[in-house]
Amino acid sequence: MSAVLTGAGRALPTTIEQDAVWEGFFAGHYADVRAARRVFASAGVRRRHAVANPLDEDISGWSTGARMQRYVQEALPLGKQAVAAALDDAGLAPGDVGLFAVATCTGYATPGLDIRLASDLGMPPGLQRLLVGHMGCYAAIPGLAAVGDYVEARSRPAVLLCCELTSLHVQPPVRELDQVVAHALFSDAATAVVLEPRWAGRGQRRRLAGVVARTDPSTADHMTWDVTDLGFRMGLSPRVPDVLSRHVGDVVDELLTGAGLRIEDVAGWAVHPGGPRILDVVRDRLGLAEEQLAASRHVLAEHGNCSSATVLLVLEELADADGPVVAMAFGPGLTLYAALLLPA
């Protein structure tokens, strides 16, 4: 693969403190769940972002239709800001883009963000577009693979936007602990990256060298994201880290072996911080030192789990890594995706 990441951008809505949102909303929301306070305290999150701040408005009773209308209203300016920042970082104009891909699992509209943002940003009318929908937290990596293939085949720049607004899916209070966990972790963000042909890049220099995927359909019920009358509802089994432990070693081995590398050769690990236990499992299974996951821990603490946008935030933290970088993310399926990025 010869596509090079040359620009990155982000847009973050209002920041809320974890302790404040617990005391001001979720302590009452989950007053009947004894473990809820412990879950929030142990989530590894200090602050996160929300377009629908529970301290200002309780949308847990909103219909899905109302939430989708709000999604479009909030996602458009955030997506525009993130894409514009990424193009500026790469030194490109919107008219230079040949493919615009959007990954999201938290909102739907037709015409979608891809059409509306392309028009608003001034991308060309002959632009090719791709919507990566409902894949969840790992969607950024298959998105990177798709835009990378386009760049390599067409020798034109491409943009990937990941826009996730999980705060629009606060659920009514229930006793199920997986709902408490989801509400303790998830956050909102829009992140974007630009990929260009290897010979044309002007900004960041990191080549997308390979992508590996692994899906274990026998555990499909461990992580779900269901459309209900009251927004989208997450199902999250405590067995997810155990499944991840069984597969992450083989995925990384396949990714690195294909490039003639070993774990010791990797200079940066951009691991999707699905939660503290996820990061612990990856560390222990791969034999990494705790400091090698510092970027992922930092993103979890300062931004929460922003679904597909998160791994791109971690990659930004590792922009100065001197050597190969591995990006990994996990989600429904259960699915693991990993990408290798090499200095270009």
Cβ–Cβ < 8 Å for 303, 293: no
Cβ–Cβ < 8 Å for 52, 70: yes
Token reading at 235: 């199902």
pLDDT in tens, 63-111: 999 999 999 999 999 999 999 999 999 999 999 999 999 999 999 999 9
Query: Which value, in Å, is the radius of gyration of the alpha carbons in the chain?
Result: 19
- Catalytic positions are 137
272 dihedral zone (left: phi>0; alpha: psi -120 to 50; beta): beta
For residues 234 and 277, what is the distance between their CA atoms, to the nearest angstrom?
18
Give ∠ CA 220-331-117 in degrees, rounded to 5: 125
Please identify which residue in the block is written with the tokens 């959007």.
102
Give the pTM: 0.96
For residues 84 and 246, what is the distance between their CA atoms, to the nearest angstrom?
40
Please identify which residue in the block is written with the tokens 């269901």.
226
CATH homologous superfamily of 3-197: Thiolase/Chalcone synthase (3.40.47.10)
Domains 3-197 and 206-343 share a fold: yes
pLDDT category, 203, cuts 50, 70, 90? low
pLDDT in tens, 268-309: 999 999 999 999 999 999 999 999 999 999 999 999 999 999
How far, in Å, are 139, 170, 206, 307, 333 from residue 268 at the CA level? 20, 34, 12, 20, 26
Check: CATH 1.50.10.10 for 206-343? no
Count of other CB atoms within 10 angstroms of residue 237: 15
Write out the E strands in 231-277. Answer: 231-236, 268-271
pLDDT at 241: 87
- Mean pLDDT for all residues in the chain: 95
Mention every residue, 6+ apart, whose C-beta is less than 8 A from residue 109.
68, 71, 72, 116
pLDDT category, 202, cuts 50, 70, 90? low
Residue 49: beta bridge partners?
15
Task: Of 84, 238, 98, give the one whose Cα is nearest residue 154.
Answer: 98
Provide the residue ranges of all domains of the chain, joining segments of one domain with +: 3-197, 206-343
Please identify which residue in the block is written with the tokens 């070993």.
262
Cβ–Cβ < 8 Å for 197, 4: yes
pLDDT category, 205, cuts 50, 70, 90? confident
Residue 87: beta bridge partners?
none
Evaluate if residue 344 carries a pLDDT over 90. Answer: no
Cβ–Cβ < 8 Å for 163, 104: yes
Residues 167-179, mean pLDDT to the nearest whole number: 93
For residues 36 and 165, what is the distance between their CA atoms, to the nearest angstrom?
22
Residue 207: beta bridge partners?
4, 342
Token reading at 89: 């970082």
Residues 153-175, mean pLDDT to the nearest whole number: 96
Cβ–Cβ < 8 Å for 331, 338: no
Evaluate if residue 237 carries a pLDDT over 90. Answer: no
